[in-house]
Amino acid sequence: SAAEAGLYTASDQVIVLSQENVESVLINSSAAVLVEFYASWCGHCIAFSPVYKSLASDIKEWKPAVDLAAVDCAAEENRKVCTGFGIRAYPTIKFFHAYSKADSTGQAFKASTHDVRVLRHRIIDKLESHEEPWPPACPPLEPTSQAEIDSFFETNSVQHLALIFEDTKSYIGREVTLDLLQYENVAVRRVLSTEEGLVTKLGVTEFPSCYLYSPQGNLTRLKVNIEARTFYSYALQRLPGVVRSGKPLPVTLDILTNSTEEPWRPFNRSGVYMADLESTLHYSLRVEVAAHTLIKGEALTSLKKYISVLTKYFPGRPVVMSLLKSVNSWLQNQTGDEISYEALKEILDNSAQSPDTALPEGERWVGCQGSRPHLRRYPCGMWTLFHALTVQAKNAGGTDPQEVLSAMRNYVHSFFGCRACAEHFEIMATESLVEVNTLSSAVLWLWSRHNRVNNRLAGDLSEDPNFPKIQWPPPEMCPACHTVKENGEHKWSQEQVLLFLLSHFSSSSILTDYLE
Ligand code: FAD
């Protein structure tokens, strides 16, 4: 269909406009909207689309204030939309104010660059010159003053006020303000270096720098590795008490205990837990695969590969390894083209009768606990398991770089209960799994695709407000993983990320708390 022929999908954090939704998106919206009018056949548009996608991902947290949309003017059914706005050349970008009227044709927006940073700054310029009514979700962007700070906590009930001290020309303060707009219990204001009274009183000498101002009047420097936008935003989003807003109430530990009817198990957020890996195996083998009474053809091949990879690389306790081994040898001996789940279950149960062979029954989530029973858990465990397997394959010196990823892909395709997840994952695998040609690149491939999924799901209903989807690992977990380019934009150090992953998911780092 035409929708599929376009350059964007909803997974890009870009609203795909059509005749049907154009009014509801653009007219009377409480957010400003930037719209790209393009033609899918136009070379410049094709070249610009990755830039627009990066921009969308870069400012996805700003959505309630300013959202991104795109419309394919080459699609027959969209012709009226595009001519209605007087579009003749592609790509054309327009900025629509919040609460635009039906006759609005938007403001010109200069897009003559492939530099995401420049585009982002132009969006801020547009927001700052936004006429009334101001988009309600957009926090104040103008510099703050001594007077505002003095009375801040009288009128605001937030726990943290972050002050970003910066030069007049710097956009960092405004960027961080917008990056935090979906978070509760924190507010951000910029203080200009020219605001001498405040700067001298507080003894600030570095620009940019970020300080936390407490209701008691204490000022503490925010510790970051590099004084740059992404580092401030990461750190502020993860302050104690800061949760994503617009979600079912921020939960406290007491409520957690009651709502899950299971005791909350305190855990280290930067740890990998064997209890999660074993719970994942339990759910996968006793619940998910059990949904198939007969396992045949492609599904049988998938199951064999999956169990074989687990037998080789699952970093498990000897009892669990011994169980996997016996399931594996039984399974590889099945030469027919189908097996029944009953037969597999018998092997799982029988093997477990021997004292030194077992797969613990039931789920006991630790690092994958969610603040509601329907959040996190199994999919979290699945990711954890697959990362651990790619790392184990590398550490054990496997021979086939794609062995684990391909087994994972087949398992997800044949069995993973979340069908939309499976489809998305299959698309990513088809796109780029061929590029994986070393065991290290397999580890990094999974890391970067997982981050893509995190990007797509940030702010989604399935996100646990206490565990917001972030680009992972955050700087406090791996400082060396994060660097900046010359222009101050964030950049991953892939070399360091690899070292980090190899150690984070190595068998010696796996924590054994809460095991039976
Ligand atoms: P998860 O994303 O599950 O991550 C688990 C843990 O892994 C995190 O707590 C963190 O410690 C670590 N981690 C996070 N990012 C990385 C990374 N980049 N590299 C290494 N470790 C990391 N849900 C949908 O709604 N739509 C989908 O299309 C979708 N696709 C999925 C595809 C697969 C293959 C899987 C396994 C799950 C998918 N899900 C999808 C579920 C979703 O990704 C999450 O698993 C779920 O929302 C639970 O999120 P979480 O907060 O527990 O963190």
How many angstroms is it from 31 CA to the middle of ligand 1? 28
Q: Can you give 140-163 as a three-state secondary structure string? A: CCCCCCHHHHHCHHHHCCCCEEEE
Tell me: the pLDDT tens digits for 125-177?
Answer: 999 998 889 999 999 999 999 889 989 999 888 899 999 999 999 999 999 99
Helices (H), 90-135: 116-128
Tokens standing for 148? 């505002």
* Residues forming the active site: 42, 45
| The pLDDT of residue 412 | 97
How many angstroms is it from 422 CA to the middle of ligand 1? 12
Nearest residue to 32 via CA among 101, 97, 126, 109:
97
Token pair 């959040």: residue: 375
Tell me: the pLDDT tens digits for 139-153?
Answer: 999 999 988 998 999
What pTM was estimated for this model as a whole?
Answer: 0.90
Atom 30 in ligand 1: residue holding the nearest Cα: 421
Residue whose CB lies within 8 A of the most ligand 1 atoms, among 453, 471, 492, for a mutation test: 453
How many angstroms is it from 380 CA to the middle of ligand 1? 5
Angstrom distance (rounded) from CA 179 to CA 58: 9
Residue 351 confidence (pLDDT) above 90: no
Tell me: the pLDDT tens digits for 382-429?
Answer: 999 999 999 999 999 989 999 999 999 999 999 999 999 999 999 999
Mean predicted lDDT score pLDDT of the chain: 92
| The pLDDT of residue 262 | 78
| The pLDDT of residue 4 | 57
ipTM of the prediction: 0.99
Percentage of residues in the chain having pLDDT higher than 70: 96
Residue 11 confidence (pLDDT) above 70: yes
Residue 261: pLDDT band (50, 70, 90) is low
- How many Cβ atoms are within 10 Å of 502's Cβ, its own excluded? 18
Residue 308 confidence (pLDDT) above 90: yes
Tell me: the pLDDT tens digits for 326-339?
Answer: 999 999 999 999 99
Residue 256 confidence (pLDDT) above 50: no
| The pLDDT of residue 258 | 43
How many angstroms is it from 104 CA to the middle of ligand 1? 40
Residue 257 confidence (pLDDT) above 70: no
Does the beta carbon of 420 sit less than 6 angstroms from any atom of ligand 1? yes
Does the beta carbon of 471 sit less than 6 angstroms from any atom of ligand 1? no
Does the beta carbon of 284 sit less than 6 angstroms from any atom of ligand 1? no
| The pLDDT of residue 247 | 55
Angstrom distance (rounded) from CA 172 to CA 379: 35
| The pLDDT of residue 396 | 94
Atom 39 in ligand 1: residue holding the nearest Cα: 421
| The pLDDT of residue 330 | 95
How many angstroms is it from 453 CA to the middle of ligand 1? 7
Please compute the mean of the pLDDT values over residues 49-56 and round it to a whole number: 96
Does the beta carbon of 269 sit less than 6 angstroms from any atom of ligand 1? no
- How many Cβ atoms are within 10 Å of 412's Cβ, its own excluded? 22
Please compute the mean of the pLDDT values over residues 243-272 and round it to a whole number: 68
Atom 22 in ligand 1: residue holding the nearest Cα: 472
Does the beta carbon of 380 sit less than 6 angstroms from any atom of ligand 1? yes
Does the beta carbon of 379 sit less than 6 angstroms from any atom of ligand 1? yes
